[in-house]
Amino acid sequence: MEVCVVAGAGGFIGGHLVSALVADGHRVRAVDAKPLSAWHQRPPAAETCVVDLSDRDACRSVVTGARVVYNLAADMGGIAFIEGNRAQCMLNVLIDTHLLLAARDAQVERYFYASSACVYAAGKQDRPDVVPLAEDAAYPALPEDGYGWEKLFGERMCRHFSEDFGLATRVARYHNVYGPYGAIDGGREKAPAAICRKVITAKLTGDRSIEVWGDGRQTRSFTYVDDCVVGTRLLTSSQVADPLNIGSDEMVTIDELIDVVEEIAGVRLARRYLPAAPQGVRGRSSDNRQIRRKLGWAPSTSLAAGMEATYRWIYDRMVAGQPANPVSSGAAHQPTTVSAGS
């Protein structure tokens, strides 16, 4: 059986992707630089490799015998991490370069690259009532400093490896992916998990207030991780060579996101706004016309449903006093499955 390699398998999205592929009977080589004890999930049926993919020889070793490579490997986190570690984010280009070279040399059939909505120019995201971001809005290029530039460079690498070497590459621009088995604290968590943690803390301690980064009026669309995995697999097995958004188009303010979490928790909290805290762009949402036209599909999990599952998972961990990023010895979260090939 040919191998599917998932780079970044110890991370949040990578762990869900590995679980989905294993559940569908694929042989999976799960690769990450983190020690196994720090992986978000670790399905027992997957082959696990702990290597640093910024090293070219390590990339060569893990793609041996691979038919499909999913590159989700990156040193990244929430807005506080990205804004405070721009050089560190830029160094992800070593992974992008060496893994592409290894895939080319191993004659891999398909290479998937996880890009980001951070490739879009901040000038197109400077107000809450932002126009949803269509794929062609990435140019003229002025992406988010550090992480956004690295991701856009990775996209261009994929394009030129396809043009010059015939490597079939597929690129997704992920938009604010959230769900169970994600980071809860420590600076790498995203807004949905951070808000769940803060609301749960307030509920458990009796403190009826919550700290909010920004003024609460900035807007986002948040993509449930099961939708992200389905979209990733559909895109990888498709004939779509250009980058596609994989993101929800259900745009809400941060205050509205808090409303959703408060409704789930059954509490109402006073909000303490911190306008000087890191908050990123003023508005961001995914334009899904291209993905609907090219794949006949788009993310559909409602924010209310996705946040319900996310809140319940975080609540259980916090009440049990368990670590934020535990290893799962099995695919405890049952992913959505589709007939998406590999």
**What tokens does 45 get?**
């049926």
Amino acid occupying residue 117 = A
**Catalytic annotation on 311?**
no
Q: Find, among 208, 247, 200, the residue nearest to 224 by Cα.
A: 247
CA 1 from chain centre, in angstroms, equals 28
Is residue 204 within 8 A of residue 279, CB to CB? The reply is no
Per annotation, catalytic residue among 113, 120, 147, 224: 147
| CA distances, 190 to each of 3, 15, 56, 88, 328 (Å) | 31, 16, 30, 18, 20
CB of 73 closer than 8 Å to CB of 32: yes
88 CB-near residues (< 8 Å, 6+ apart) = 75
Tokens of 141: 């290029």
Question: Which residues are designated catalytic?
Answer: 147
